[in-house]
Structure 1
Amino acid sequence: MTASQPRIRLTMAQAVVRFLSQQRTARDGREQPLFGGVFGIFGHGNVAGIGEALQGLRTDGTAQAAPYESRIDGTAQAVPCEPALRYYLARNEQAMVHTAAAYAKMHNRLRTLACTSSIGPGATNMITGAAGATINRVPVLLLPGDIFASRRPAPVLQQLESSQSQDVSVNDCFRPVSRYWDRINRPDQIITALPEAMRVLTSPAETGAVTLALPQDVQAEAYDYPAALFEPRVWTIARPRADRDRLQAAARLLRASRRPLVVAGGGVIYSEATDALRRFADATGIAVGETQAGKGALPDPHPLSLGGIGATGTRAANLLARDADLVLVVGSRLSDFTTASKTAFQHEHVRFIAVNVAEGDAAKHAALSLVGDARAVLDELLPLVAGYHVSAEYTGAVAASRSEWRAEVDRVCAPDPQGALESPVPSQAPAPGRMRISQAQVIGVLQDTLAPTDVIVCAAGSLPGDLHKLWRARDPKGYHMEYGYSCMGYEIAGGLGVKMAAPDRNVYVLVGDGSYLMMAQEIVTAVQEGIKITIILLDNEGFASIGGLSESIGSGGFGTRYRHRNPATGDLDGDALVVDLAANAASLGARVWRADTLASFREALTAAHADTRTSVIVVPVDREARVSGYESWWEVPVAEVSTSPEVQRARAAYETARRKGRDFL
């Protein structure tokens, strides 16, 4: 310890809270606090540590308790305190991580929320959310309580014992889903751990879930920390440039191409590169297909915006992808849904150029990798292709494809669609006398009703596929889809995070009954905080998406409908299982409407918009009125051996489709 270095005596937990409140990020001269607050559920593993530390901050940023006024020299004068970190009470630990991830995504990864839990089940509940954040490349900070570092009282309540090591707890399960993981066994270890955690959180290339496991005894231990640790710190988010030689090589490939295509991923939006992409598209005439995370990168109605691409993409985008001789991938990790399980790009000599801040993502598909910030790279690439423009034939093909697709969307979403909705597999007819509206029609009403800056939030089931195809994103932040992990239950918790990040926008959560029943309780959190979100709850009496997939592989939708157990068959094929979703939502504090027709749905939307409370509109929909894939495929293996003729036929179709898969070497 250096005698001249000022020190402040704090518990480890108090030091963590104080440090977090002083962290800021900056990009392009704009500065903001890194953390917008702390979500948590207190238990014996964090209430006396992090809980006490959070309570020690006033909302006006002044010191409240003695620990924040005590210096190592014993003086007692008040010390100016950092701005408070507001504490938010969640109802489920997984949900609060989803909320933090959505908050970070909405802030283009420049801000996030911290999440604190107790030990044991409270901690492991956060693992699913951590995996989602890491897969989606968005920052979240997790502070799970941990078992006693001293080991003296072991085994403590909720401790997992290991015969291999006494240094193992359930928090080790966070290791594979975290971009940085540490266990703080001594209070002074945070002096090096916290800055490293912030470095990873604020790194566009490395960001994801960061986990600091905090043993419950160490949280309460005091240490004389250097005062410099708590000084305001700004983490500048740089815009790294790509290698100049590679840029020139990319320009040569672009100039030589005849049918190029841009695939825009989430990195375009996170980098705030949408204007740069528009300038590039306008100058070259190259059309743009969008991933789920990148939808809105070139907002509708731009004439070069083809909408979604891949397994859930539009016919317009997928037809151009099929014949593309060069694909410029900007800010995408090229998941199987984007590449249609590597069947989307069929040109014999197709080449890829990949712009990505993460080196690993930039190297996929044997691409010419341009490792750098999306906006910076596009801005530097544009003058290198000055004078290049696609042919008039290409431009005409893009315009024709867009026009045909828009007509198809209008048909599918029409109140009385001309012709039946396409279905990838034969489906059973609706029960006699039952005329439910379709999911596509609900999307059509929302498209006509919502403002361009309103936000739709979704994650799982059949809705992401329909939205990717049918939704016309008119704002880069108006389409919020968690489709990296596609986690059922993300929707309502994520909608809460979106609204916290953008309180001036109207937020509409689209969720199926399957996802709703997995995690609806954050409605209570929204009501408690006075945060208004509108939830469109589509009830198709089960798991419609996986039911359709089950039918497509010959299994007939087995186990995907909400049915009572049938004593005669022993299966879940008895009478319909009635679940009163409207009553459930009302019991959680939401204002609720039920809409059985398009007219009543429009009326409910108007009423919900006028209401200040979190609102839920329950809409029964026809699970059999599916929107098919368009010029695309997604690989799901079918049983190679089966006595079922349906499975045998599905296997034959699978083998045929699989032959179109490409190896890009």
Structure 2
Amino acid sequence: MTVRLTVAQALVRFLANQYSERDGVEQRLIPGCFGIFGHGNVAGVGQALLQAARTGDDDLPYHLARNEQGMVHAAVGYSRMRNRLQAMACTASIGPGSTNMLTGAALATTNRIPVLLLPSDVFATRVASPVLQELERPDSGDVSVNDAFRPLSRFFDRVWRPEQLPSALLGAMRALTDPAETGAVTIALPQDVQAEAFDWPQELFARRVWHVARPVPEPAAIARAAEIVRAATKPLLVAGGGVHYSEAYAALRAFAEATGIPVADTQAGKGALLWDHPQAVGGVGSTGSPVANALARDADVVIGVGTRWSDFTTASRTAFANPDVRFVNLNVAAFDAGKHAGASVVTDARAGLEALADAVEGYRVGDAHLASYTEHRERWTRVVDDAYHLGHTPLPAQTEVLGALDEMLDPRDVVVQAAGSLPGDLQMLWRAREEKAYHVEYAYSCMGYEIAGALGVKMAAPDREVFALVGDGSYLMMSSEVVTAVSEGIKLNLVLVQNHGFSSIGALSESLGSQRFGTSYRFRDPATGELDGATLPVDLAANVASLGADVIRVRTIAELRDAIVVARAATRTTAIHIETDPLAPVPSPESWWDVPVSEVSALGSTREARKTYEHAKAGQRPLVTPAENREDDR
């Protein structure tokens, strides 16, 4: 039996019948499609989506986005909130519409989050070439701008002929549901092929369930890891995003409680062990807590669970200073498990923690180690309390804004952030009270993710309040998905933190001897020729109101607390606008991040910063297990 459909109609029907399954729970794999139509896809994918909606057959719900990059961010937020068991599709027109998705593709792959990208492409027949928005290359007739997706995607294919669609779709679904190999998945669709009819086998559209694996660890690998852990006197566990995606919360708690091993977390792993658990010591690395960073410096064994060991986590390879430190890496991806020449255990996080717990049964850290980090943790709690209630004037500190939110939000409310100074302050200070309540995109740290990502989070968890914290830099780069939220009736809470510039890069610039050059939003001063004149009269509150959101302007932390209550109770997207002092003090993480300083300079500030840089850089090390400590050399 065959059915005659266009390529786009077949694509939509196929996607509507794909399901994922893990632990016996099934859900739609592709629950919907974001899109912006142009001449490249309006008659293809656009027509197919309309037909599906109007006929009620194999419907794939369509959501009109306002920015192609933004819709990929929303898809990432959705999938991450669903622990990578579902992935939204994103369709865009030829040329700029499709290449606008490139940043989102890079973000998805860097974060290991599945999204399905459907960029429109040039005519396969080339009958009308060059078509509008086509990039011509004199040396290659089969290259289009969509080839830029190749290095950014975990799977890429281009459907030049209808016959190629089934294999492309099956390959795409495999990559979307592979926890070790997932990321952006791209199927480029020539615009003429989208509208071309073909006789498809009926079996292509049958209900298909993709089983998301929980790889179990090799017993010998667990035995090697257990031997290392049992010999540890000052161990530290670092929980990454893989703990969330595996839903390994109970396994992590049980392991920490049985062994007494302190648990630090990465940006993606925050909340894996709640902040008030006795073994939780906060974020580790460049923006972590002094508690976790002190433990990292002395650790003789570091157990990484579901982390890719970014430079922020390792403090640019200065965090783990013990010359004899050894790594045990539990990760579903062999690529990440093998980092730092550690004992590599390729495994699902939950399965790996359960197996390791059994293998080290009876092991527990010494009382002195437990008492030491417990005391340090209690001191740090008081420091955070002080930062949350700083009483800074005349403008409040950003840490006070976070304090008001942390104390006023319900434990299930989700905070979303991505770029600027807020991620660092959040990782250091935020007290996660529920496993999925902290959502900071910090693998790509993409300005503009906040509102779009929050839209996806809210779509994935409609029963939870979602708060997007947005600095003025990120807001001005991408506020477009406020309109999408308003049009869809999706309620978001936006906290617009206005500090008239790039706070994070301003502070970094100053530490590098560049005196905050080019980081403030100011008029150009005719006297100096630089952008150091009066503050620009940018009114973010008026802007977001013009996009359809309700707005609450506040000046004090007391007013902010009242506004949070009002926003949570509202039924429409609501923005709270508050101005903060970018120079207000923030506690030190007692850590470092490698950003090179000019080796020679005519500026004294730069020369002094270079001295500090060279001193810190001397502490960098390759994080390769010493040869004398390897099992095969014993």
The TM-score range, normalised by the shorter chain, is over 0.9
Counterpart residue identity of residue 578, structure 2: V
The corresponding residue for 1:499 is: 458
The corresponding residue for 1:324 is: 299
- Cα drift, residue 613 of structure 1: 0.5
3-state SS of the aligned residue for 1:342? coil
Instruction: Say whether the 8 Å CA contact 2:387–2:587 is kept in structure 1.
Output: no
1:457-488 Cα shifts (integer Å, max 9, x gaps): 00000000000000011111000010000000
The corresponding residue for 2:612 is: 653
- Cα drift, residue 570 of structure 1: 1.2
3-state SS of the aligned residue for 1:196? helix
- Cα drift, residue 58 of structure 1: 2.9
The corresponding residue for 2:269 is: 294
- Cα drift, residue 300 of structure 1: 2.0
Q: Structure 2 matches for 1:358-437, cutoff 5 A?
A: 358-416=333-391, 435-437=394-396
1:281-322 Cα shifts (integer Å, max 9, x gaps): 010000000000000010121010011110000011111111
Counterpart residue identity of residue 615, structure 2: T
The corresponding residue for 2:577 is: 618
Matched, 1:130 2:92: no
Aligned-partner Cα distance in 1 for 2:146–2:588: 41
The corresponding residue for 2:168 is: 193
3-state SS of the aligned residue for 1:408? helix
The corresponding residue for 2:14 is: 19
Instruction: Say whether the 8 Å CA contact 2:216–2:352 is kept in structure 1.
Output: yes
The corresponding residue for 1:513 is: 472
- Cα drift, residue 262 of structure 1: 0.2
1:204 aligns with one of 179, 188, 195: 179
Instruction: Say whether the 8 Å CA contact 2:30–2:87 is kept in structure 1.
Output: yes
- Cα drift, residue 159 of structure 1: 0.5
Matched, 1:242 2:237: no
The corresponding residue for 2:143 is: 168
Q: Structure 2 matches for 1:25-104, cutoff 5 A?
A: 25-58=20-53, 63=55, 81-82=57-58, 84-104=59-79
Instruction: Say whether the 8 Å CA contact 1:311–1:629 is kept in structure 2.
Output: no
Matched, 1:546 2:505: yes
Aligned-partner Cα distance in 1 for 2:589–2:8: 53
3-state SS of the aligned residue for 1:442? helix
Counterpart residue identity of residue 211, structure 1: T
3-state SS of the aligned residue for 1:589? coil
3-state SS of the aligned residue for 1:328? strand
The corresponding residue for 2:588 is: 629
The corresponding residue for 2:332 is: 357
3-state SS of the aligned residue for 2:567? helix
The corresponding residue for 1:273 is: 248
The corresponding residue for 2:630 is: none
Instruction: Say whether the 8 Å CA contact 1:260–1:324 is kept in structure 2.
Output: yes
Counterpart residue identity of residue 307, structure 1: G
Aligned-partner Cα distance in 1 for 2:391–2:584: 13
2:236 aligns with one of 258, 261, 265: 261
Unaligned runs of 5+ in 1: 1-5, 65-80, 418-433
Aligned-partner Cα distance in 1 for 2:150–2:587: 39
Matched, 1:215 2:184: no
Counterpart residue identity of residue 201, structure 1: L
1:525 aligns with one of 469, 473, 484: 484
3-state SS of the aligned residue for 1:57? helix
The corresponding residue for 1:306 is: 281
With the length of structure 2 as denominator, give the TM-score of the two structures: 0.98
1:538-587 Cα shifts (integer Å, max 9, x gaps): 00001011001000011100000011011111110111111011100000
Aligned-partner Cα distance in 2 for 1:599–1:299: 27
- Cα drift, residue 416 of structure 1: 2.5
Aligned-partner Cα distance in 1 for 2:446–2:480: 16
- Cα drift, residue 628 of structure 1: 4.3
Aligned-partner Cα distance in 2 for 1:626–1:332: 30
Aligned-partner Cα distance in 2 for 1:203–1:583: 44
Aligned-partner Cα distance in 1 for 2:365–2:6: 64
3-state SS of the aligned residue for 2:495? strand
Aligned-partner Cα distance in 1 for 2:124–2:109: 27
3-state SS of the aligned residue for 2:552? strand
Aligned-partner Cα distance in 1 for 2:595–2:72: 29
Matched, 1:111 2:94: no
3-state SS of the aligned residue for 1:282? helix
Aligned-partner Cα distance in 2 for 1:200–1:348: 39
Aligned-partner Cα distance in 1 for 2:421–2:156: 34
The corresponding residue for 2:546 is: 587
The corresponding residue for 2:316 is: 341
3-state SS of the aligned residue for 2:32? strand
3-state SS of the aligned residue for 1:404? helix
1:306-344 Cα shifts (integer Å, max 9, x gaps): 111100000111111110000000000000000000000
- Cα drift, residue 243 of structure 1: 1.4
3-state SS of the aligned residue for 1:36? coil
Aligned-partner Cα distance in 2 for 1:45–1:315: 53
Aligned-partner Cα distance in 2 for 1:579–1:204: 44
Counterpart residue identity of residue 231, structure 2: A
Aligned-partner Cα distance in 2 for 1:52–1:357: 39
The corresponding residue for 1:429 is: none
Aligned-partner Cα distance in 2 for 1:566–1:58: 56
The corresponding residue for 2:602 is: 643
Matched, 1:483 2:442: yes
The corresponding residue for 2:425 is: 466
With the length of structure 1 as denominator, give the TM-score of the two structures: 0.93
- Cα drift, residue 415 of structure 1: 4.7
Unaligned runs of 5+ in 2: 625-634
- Cα drift, residue 400 of structure 1: 0.5
1:490-525 Cα shifts (integer Å, max 9, x gaps): 000000000000001000001100000000010000
1:222-279 Cα shifts (integer Å, max 9, x gaps): 1111100000000001111111111011111111110000000000000000110000
Aligned-partner Cα distance in 2 for 1:318–1:401: 11
1:141 aligns with one of 111, 116, 130: 116
Counterpart residue identity of residue 325, structure 1: D
Give the superposed CA RMSD.
0.9
- Cα drift, residue 348 of structure 1: 1.4
- Cα drift, residue 36 of structure 1: 1.8
Matched, 1:285 2:260: yes
The corresponding residue for 2:555 is: 596
Aligned-partner Cα distance in 2 for 1:173–1:164: 16
Aligned-partner Cα distance in 2 for 1:557–1:213: 43
Instruction: Say whether the 8 Å CA contact 2:5–2:199 is kept in structure 1.
Output: yes
The corresponding residue for 1:73 is: none
Counterpart residue identity of residue 22, structure 2: R
Instruction: Say whether the 8 Å CA contact 1:500–1:531 is kept in structure 2.
Output: yes
Aligned-partner Cα distance in 2 for 1:15–1:404: 61
Instruction: Say whether the 8 Å CA contact 1:566–1:572 is kept in structure 2.
Output: yes
3-state SS of the aligned residue for 2:312? helix
Aligned positions, number: 624
Q: Give the share of equivalent positions with the same residue, in percent.
A: 58
